Chain A
Amino acid sequence: MHGRVKVKTTAQQEEEKRKEREKKLKIYVAARDACFSKRKDAVFDDEALQLTQQLLSSNPDFATLWNYRREILTHLETVKDEDEVQKIYEAELSFLESCLKVNPKSYGSWHHRGWVSARLPRPAWTRELSLCDRCLSLDDRNFHCWDYRRMVVKMSDVPVKQELEFTDRLIGSNFSNYSSWHYRSTLLPLLHPESAERPSQRGDPPHSPSPPCPQTHSHRVCEEQLLKEYELVQNAFFTDPNDQSAWFYYRWLLGRAEREEMISCVYVSREEERVAVAFSRPVNARSGVLLLVLDGQPQRVEWRSVHPHFKHSPVWICDLPPGTISDITNEHNLTVHWTEKHAHRDCALYTGRSESWCRDTATDLELFRSELSVEKTSVLQSELQSVNQLQELEPLNKWCLLTIILLMRALDPLGYEKETLAHFQTLKEVDSMRSAYYGDLCSKFMIENTILKMEYAEVRVFSISDRNLTTLCHLDQLLLVTHINLSSNQLRRLPPQFAMLQCLEVVEADNNSIENLEGVYHLPKLEEVSLKNNQISTPADLQPLASCPKLKRLDLRGNPVTQTANVESELAELLPSVTDLLL
């Protein structure tokens, strides 16, 4: 047709492309073979550099070739002078830049770049930093680049403040970025450390990102900065409440410091001649890190965790040599030393007393509350107000609901109990996929509340019935409890941690779905267990009870196990101490 432009047909184009590809493949294979044979012969010359470069620029993920290249370069370092080495490495960096343009997420290229940068005689970290910035502006979630950037920052001592501004910038352009928020959470404690414990650091932020000893560092941020962060993150979740990254950061902000490592309780029982020690976190006390001093005399005792399942446990027990404290007319002074942490706790067992303890309570430690100072509590209150405002606008947003719950707990766990329960109900409805998670979380909070109530009442009775509990936790806090009532919940087991209730005498756990009693294990004072209407199905399930020497009364009515043949005789054999068996 006149005037029409003649264009190659698709078939023609395909054919040309195919030929092109074949040609390329031939060259590639030839170069690869040449490289391999050179490496075998340990040839480290310029030609090898060129060959690997040719191959890597079309396929930067060929790890063997990068290795060969590094061998060549280390060899060249030994034969060239510094200026030449500098030049070689600079050429290497610009070659790598072209590789990263082909594939900005190539493991090989980024790793090699890190290697080269570290070996460069006169490193140019500013250039590297700006390369990272360029890469991140193209893809702010390129984790290879984030990794490399962290290395560059570390090597070049970039001021923390500058890095914080960098995260400001990235969050400003797209706040849906976990990397930036997380980076922020590592920078803030360095730049604005919590002041109460370390007043010396205030106003003199450390300029290198080397933190003080990580063991003692609290990872907390001073209140003033914390408030600014609240504002920033609030802007993010009001803008897009469905974006998780901001909410996660907010949870970090609201989070508590790790508890100080300490001995939180020492309990001694005259009758069992036994000492129980509770720690602020699970420890392994088997290996001689605990020292028991009785009336000034170090004792050789064997520490064990409450259940063979635990290598690490917050509660450890030991038996004193028979007769050491059995005489009720004697007064004794105990000290437990935690040699590793230079911590210790004393406990006095007075004349006429059968048991004694010394401890910090959950209420003393404000274990389940915010750590903010009293005047800043008003700030938390206004946080709650604004999140409530968001909830009014977005009544079904799960992140919002969950955050309200967390804020309420930080402020006044008991006062907000009713609202918390209502919000959990909504959460289970709007996010049914996670209803079990919310159930467990709600259980945890209800247990915390019950612990608080118990301690305010100064009793040793823990009663939490009809609360939809799905799980048990904080059992280390119940070391001294003598009576526990868990009736009418949704528990399926009494877990191994249950064995931490060393003073327990009576268990009521009627109307649950308990099928497993693992945790009712070596409880020295346990006398009475009521398990009406549960799911105990075989006599073997009751095996753990056999380890409780004082068990007298056992109520198993309404359990499948009662239907088994010979159940009575089997149980009599298994649990000889039980005199009162209800089936």
Chain B
Amino acid sequence: MAAEDLPSDFDIVILGTGLAESVVAAACSRVGQRVLHLDRRSYYAANWASFTFNGLLTWIQEQNEETKPEEVKDWSSLMEEGEELIHLSNSDSASITNVQVFNYTSEEEDDTQSADASNTTEEEKAADEDAVKESSETESADSKEEEEAGAAEEQTEGEEPEAEQPLPSSPSNQSKPARKKVSYAQLVKEGRRFNIDLVSKLLFSRGSLVDLLIKSNVSRYAEFKNVTRILTYRHGNVEQVPCSRADVFASRQLSVVEKRKLMRFLTSCMEETEEQTAYNGRPYLEFLRDQQLGESLQHFLLHSIAMVTEDTPTEEGLASTRHFLRCLGRYGNTPFLFPVYGLGEIPQCFCRMSAVFGGIYCLRHSVHCLIVDKDTNRCKAVIDSRGQRISCSHVVVENSYLDADRKQMAPPPRYLSRAVLITDSSVLPSDSDQQISVVTVPPGAAGGPAVKMVELCSSSMTCIPGTHLVHLTCQSVGSAHEDLSPLVTRMFRTTESQNEDQRPSVLWCLFFNMADGSTLEVKGHQLPSNVYVCCGPDGGLGHEHAVKQAESIFQKILPEEEFCPPAPNPEDIIYDGESSSAVDQDLQEESRGPDQDQNQENQNQENQPEE
């Protein structure tokens, strides 16, 4: 952005470029609102961002840096009578915690960084412990289990420090298996080819995000790949879940009778019957059991298709099952799509749309405080990080911009535990190594909570050839490392073992906790009535939560307007005199222009979620 001042008058100021904020920005610009969209970070998409490997290392470093205490300036010169200030936070200290990095690559070039990163600051740990105090009882129960889980666990515990600071003569350098090892230098050197998501989500083929992308024509800015397999972790093995007709036909694990029962259940559950309603309120598992479905079918249906837990009520389980089935076959044999180049693309696509319709974008630019009219309790203007007063009619703000004391009104946030692994092979090797797989791990399968795992291959443009990128997500019980490392050590090799270990090796991994957006109360911040809060990513697999939030904010701001009507084709837009699409410089430089995307889209039409 050039050093010149921004216009001093907007309809809507939006802080944060996460998915919900970006959708609101696109929707508002699209119907002619003047939108100023700011993010204090140097990248788009906030906690929805995707990073190159090196970008992620920088991000990790930032998470561990002490935030500078905020200078309190006197803004009275910019204020008028009857106005008061609401100060906003200038850093996001709470949404990401417990960042830990482990490096298992053989050649170490930069071990200081990973060692530093793994030493999480004490304050963060303390904060996290507070947050999870409620669940301490369950935790102790878990820890017993963990002890019983035995030697495997202990072994890893013992080896971790070694892994963090590998000795130059570590045994891994000698007996090399056939698999070619990727070195750390290579990860750094080819780091640009990674697109590592902070959140791990997928698009349901008939979910609200796909509908929105199609309806608004934002889909032209992105490409998608089908998730190719649904897998599950069961009895210590990774198995493919037969969910489409072709899968069921080809399945070797199911007997023909099981095939029939499964297909019959999948067809019959689409319609609500009296038999089903009789089970309302009773666990879905009970319903499945009474349908004479065998143990493996129950597992598939409960954990991999409905993706619910054993005590989820039947009506909820059936609704999830139906949603899964409705999504099947629209774009392929699984119900999911994944955006090529990572999920961080999606918020950016909406920003691009907003920019095409006149939205103004600034990164590394924030707002110090909101100016509130005392009488009306409405926000009249904001003061940006350059001390400029910008008047506006509405403010949309990402949760982390609010001061900690404002958030104390809300219940303490819950956290998600995340792990990101770079591995050398797939958890279930097949004919093609270009598979995008979802792996559902039921609770207790590895002594921990239910984990959703997404394994990406290099053709998804998120990792380099010869590697896979694995995302693990679960609701936090303890820290991300406590929650997820038992599963990681079971499913993957973290050390060099000579014997016939077919499990994929972890080259590098990252653990962190992220605030669960779905548990952050949107109301109750005692904010002016025209200030709307977006909370960050939730733990769900789809994007329903963020889209719903964006739509409801849009409807509050502009109750009369249509939400994201189809954008006209570029050739139908009339350009006269002043260019009506004042695309921000930043965005133009940083991203491909919409016209270029158009061309690309034509070449990749099969992957477009368009009808």
Interface of A toward B, CB cutoff 8 Å: 1-8, 13, 172-175, 234-236, 238-241, 386, 389-390, 393-394
Contacts and interface: CB of A to CB of B under 8 A. Distances in A.
Interface residues of B, number: 24
A1 B572 contact: no
Contacts of B261: 393
Contacts of A240: 245, 249, 263
A518 to B, nearest CB: 48
Contacts of B581: 5
Contacts of B573: 5-8
Contacts of A235: 249-250, 256, 259
B245 A239 contact: yes
Contacts of B574: 6-8
B151 interface: no
- Most chain A CB neighbours (cut-off 10 Å) among B248, B260, B264, B576: B260
Nearest to A10: B572
Contacts, number: 72
A334 B574 CA distance: 99
A3 B576 CA distance: 12
B249 A1 contact: no
Central interface residue in A5, A234, A393, by most chain B CB within 10 Å: A5
A393 B260 CA distance: 8
B512 to A, nearest CB: 40
B590 to A, nearest CB: 22
Interface of B: 32-34, 245-246, 248-250, 256-257, 259-261, 263-264, 357-358, 568, 572-574, 576, 580-581
B257 A238 contact: yes
A5 B580 CA distance: 6
The list of the 8 closest CB pairs from A to B, nearest first, reads A238-B256, A4-B32, A6-B574, A7-B568, A239-B249, A238-B260, A8-B572, A238-B259
A52 B312 CA distance: 66
B32 A234 contact: no
B249 A236 contact: yes
Contacts of A394: 260, 264
A42 B581 CA distance: 57
A389 B264 CA distance: 14
A253 to B, nearest CB: 16
Contacts of A239: 245, 248-249, 259-260, 263
Given A5-B357, A238-B260, A239-B263, 19 more contacts: A3-B357, A3-B358, A3-B580, A5-B358, A7-B573, A7-B574, A8-B572, A8-B573, A8-B574, A173-B246, A174-B246, A235-B249, A235-B259, A238-B256, A238-B263, A239-B259, A239-B260, A241-B260, A394-B264
A17 to B, nearest CB: 11
Nearest to A1: B32
21 contacts: A1-B32, A3-B32, A3-B357, A3-B358, A5-B358, A5-B568, A8-B572, A8-B573, A172-B246, A172-B250, A173-B246, A174-B245, A234-B256, A235-B256, A238-B259, A239-B249, A240-B249, A386-B256, A390-B260, A393-B257, A393-B264
Contacts of A8: 568, 572-574
A264 to B, nearest CB: 40
- Residue from A6, A238, A240, A394 having most chain B Cβ neighbours under 10 A: A238
A386 B260 CA distance: 12
A174 B34 CA distance: 51
B240 to A, nearest CB: 13
Contacts of A5: 32, 357-358, 568, 573, 580-581
A234 B245 CA distance: 14
A3 B33 contact: yes
B246 A175 contact: yes
A149 B33 CA distance: 57
Contacts of A173: 246
A320 to B, nearest CB: 61
Contact of A2 (B32, B257, B263): B32
A13 B569 CA distance: 11
A271 B124 CA distance: 116
Most buried by A among B261, B263, B581: B263
A8 B576 CA distance: 12
Nearest to B356: A5
A209 B256 CA distance: 33
A5 B358 CA distance: 9
B257 A389 contact: yes
Contacts of B568: 5, 7-8
A234 B581 CA distance: 61
Given A1-B32, A239-B259, A239-B260, A6 B357 contact: no
Contacts of A1: 32
Contact of B34 (A3, A7, A13, A238): A3
B393 to A, nearest CB: 14
Nearest to B32: A4
A63 to B, nearest CB: 30
A13 B572 contact: yes
A564 B261 CA distance: 64
